[in-house]
């Protein structure tokens, strides 16, 4: 076990900003034992099976929807080089059996999610903060594509959530932290080459800093 605290990198951004796209490109620059990733999404409070109408009306875009204490405990375990075991979140889908995630500590710890800068205890440990940004119409287009195809929601449901839950929450709980981030990445295009260049620069600087 190392005596040196892991380097903690935050990746936040609204729905459809391309966090997943960025992280896939970023993680490719590191060996598995150099970096570990914790997603705030895996700490959603399970709601049980919901009707389509209940799902539409329930606001998942609030900091109170997350098991914050468990999230904090697991993050601080990883900071102390302890392996974490966590049941994955299956978006309340009764047909999916959740896997047990094994998250091993590493010299670099990435935390990603909507509210990671909003939770004060978590926000206090970051060494570097990234904010993923995208034009609103592009983010909505990505959200529609994901929810209509992958989650089989109706367009009416997606638009209701976007207007009543997603955007109000983004403006209140995420956007205020944009200006305090070390790097704001505009991801309004889906050009892989651009993202590879950005992640190459950040990862190269980080490897040099940590002597990896």
pLDDT over threshold 80, residue 2 = no
Instruction: For 74-118, give the DSSP string.
Output: HHHHHHTT--EEEEPP-TT-TTSPPPEEEE---SEEEEESSSTTT
- Sign of torsion, CA 212 71 99 132? negative
Number of domains in the chain: 1
pLDDT over threshold 80, residue 86 = yes
Per-residue pLDDT reduced to its tens digit, 149-172:
777 788 999 999 999 999 999 999
Query: For residue 82, what are the domain limits?
Result: 7-210
Q: Does residue 198 lie in a domain region?
A: yes
CATH code of 195's domain: 3.40.50.300
Structure tokens at 69: 């204490």
Q: Does residue 70 lie in a domain region?
A: yes
pTM of the model: 0.91
Q: Does residue 53 lie in a domain region?
A: yes
Q: Does residue 1 lie in a domain region?
A: no
Q: What's the rounded Cα separation, in Å, for the pair 104 and 108?
A: 11
Q: Does residue 133 lie in a domain region?
A: yes
Q: How far is CA 170 from the centre of its chain?
A: 13
Average pLDDT of the residues of the chain = 91
Q: Does residue 2 lie in a domain region?
A: no
Q: Does residue 23 lie in a domain region?
A: yes
pLDDT over threshold 70, residue 92 = no
């Amino acid at each position: 076990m190392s005596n040196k605290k892991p380097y903690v990198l935050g990746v936040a951004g609204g729905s459809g900003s391309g966090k997943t796209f960025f992280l896939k490109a970023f993680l490719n620059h590191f060996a598995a034992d150099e970096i570990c990733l914790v997603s705030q999404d895996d700490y959603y409070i399970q709601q049980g099976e919901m009707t389509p109408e209940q799902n539409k009306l329930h606001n998942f875009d609030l900091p109170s929807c997350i098991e914050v204490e468990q999230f904090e405990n697991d993050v601080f375990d990883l900071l102390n080089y302890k392996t974490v075991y966590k049941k994955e979140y299956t978006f309340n889908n009764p047909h999916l059996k959740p896997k047990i995630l094994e998250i091993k500590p590493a010299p670099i710890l990435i935390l990603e999610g909507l509210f990671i800068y909003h939770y004060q205890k978590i926000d206090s440990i970051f060494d570097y903060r990234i904010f993923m940004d995208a034009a609103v119409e592009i983010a909505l287009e990505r959200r529609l594509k994901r929810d209509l195809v992958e989650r089989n929601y109706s367009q009416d449901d997606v638009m209701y959530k976007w207007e009543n839950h997603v955007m109000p929450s983004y403006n209140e709980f995420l956007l205020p932290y944009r200006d305090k981030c070390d790097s704001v990445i505009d991801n309004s295009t889906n050009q892989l080459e651009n993202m590879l260049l950005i992640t190459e620069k950040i990862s190269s600087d980080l490897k040099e800093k940590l002597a990896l």
